[in-house]
Amino acid sequence: MAKAARKNHNGGITKSDPYAGADARKGKGKAANNIFKMNTDIGQHILKNPGVAQAIVDKADLKQSDIVLEVGPGTGNLTTRILEKAKRVIAVEQDPRMAAELTKRFQGTPAAKRLELILGDVIKMPELPYFDVCISNTPYQISSPLTFKLLATSPSPRSCVLMFQREFAMRLFAKPGDKLYSRLSVNAQMWAKVDHVMKVGRNNFNPPPQVESNVVRISPKNPRPQISYAEWDGLLRVAFVRKNRVLRAEFLGTVSVMEMLESNYRTFCAQNDIAVDDGPSDTVVPEATMDIDGGTEDNEHDEDMEVDEDDDLPDFFKEERDRKESRAKENPNRKRKGKVAELVRAKVKKVLEEDTGLADKRARLCDEGDFLRLLYAFNQEGIHFS
């Protein structure tokens, strides 16, 4: 039986119980490091387990010539280990208090010259600086926009090793028909190879988050797929606004989508010197509604009807709500369409029903090949999404 810890005359802990001494030192360190309260509203959960931090850096397979972008460095627990292996670290930190702590930690050390600190919101940065690898204990609130920003970066980084909320990480791997299958799943798997690295329990953070975490490695494909990222993502934004609706209703049954496609078609014609008849149509058609042509969902899927990727929802969808309210006050149950609007509608219907045969298929069941067929067919008709 281990002997109980005894206090010596100086009030310290004797060596008869080394665990008691460790506990005392741990308590002292905790008090010393509690400099300020973490702001969990912006995802401040500091990774405190050195073993996990080292494993993340090891999985990044850094080279001595690498420039590493670190998002949300916090107090620098990952930064220290990255600087041991990489040429330079560009750390983007939103909280001035954290930035000050990070600066203080490396001030006067040889590594200070190889650390560039950018104070600001990485999502609002118009352009990311050049980097070879991204490593991030990602604030959960920016998981989706950060992933899309990294996927769209050109030139592509070699890899991104990112900590995510477990459910979000699982969406990266999801396949057609899975409950978590989304625009994120299709985009990630189109542009990159996604590997699971490790699970990380909530107790490895200070303060502990309410969810478990996973680390994933996203390795962009090289060469990149020869399609426009803006076009591809624009198509997916439309398809996954309501992933359980059939594509006919997603396109033809949503006013804002048809108005956006009509506007893009006008731009396409103007850029390619194609004359269009912009006069009013003689045909009066019903005002498009949110569900037409058999586009209603099965009742069993009603619980999944929330807008997918709501934080990234295009402005034209949000603005449509205001336009609908305005039209409702004027009671325009039927509306005379212009010839361009009719032409675009006919083209969309042709793509969905004749060219691809995907009109009655739901986005949650479409795979990468289906979306590529859609994009090609739409572009052949002069219909663009960016």
For 115-154, give one letter per residue: b (16+ CB within 10 A) or e. Answer: bebbeeebbeeeebeebbbbbbbbbbebbbebbbbbbebe
Beta strands 88-93 and 115-119 are parallel
Q: Report whether 301 belongs to an annotated binding site.
A: no
Closest CA to 154 of 131, 138, 136: 131
Torsion sign across C-alpha atoms 368, 370, 376, 378: negative
Sequence-ordered alpha helix ranges (H) in the chain: 18-33, 50-59, 77-83, 96-106, 143-152, 166-173, 183-191, 229-239, 247-252, 255-271, 315-330, 339-350, 368-380
Give, in order, the Cα–Cα distances in Å from 149 to each of 95, 179, 191, 229, 231: 20, 24, 12, 11, 15
d(CA 38, CA 224): 39
Q: Report whether 9 belongs to an annotated binding site.
A: no
- Phi-psi sector, 357: left (phi>0), alpha (psi -120 to 50), beta: left
d(CA 38, CA 216): 25
Q: How many CB atoms lie within 10 A of CB 345?
A: 18
Q: Token pair of 87, please?
A: 């040429």
Amino acid at 91: A
Beta strands 334-338 and 280-286 are antiparallel
Residues 6 or more apart whose CB falls under 8 angstroms from that of 9 comprise: none
To the nearest 10°, the Cα dihedral for 259, 264, 265, 268? 170
d(CA 192, CA 182): 15
Beta strands 115-119 and 334-338 are unpaired
Q: Report whether 278 belongs to an annotated binding site.
A: no
Per the listing, tokens 């190879």 go with 193
Q: Report whether 93 belongs to an annotated binding site.
A: yes
Q: Token pair of 267, please?
A: 């731009």
Q: Report whether 47 belongs to an annotated binding site.
A: yes
Q: Report whether 233 belongs to an annotated binding site.
A: no
Known binding site: residues? 45, 47, 72, 93, 121, 137
Known binding site for S-adenosyl-L-methionine: residues? 45, 47, 72, 93, 121, 137
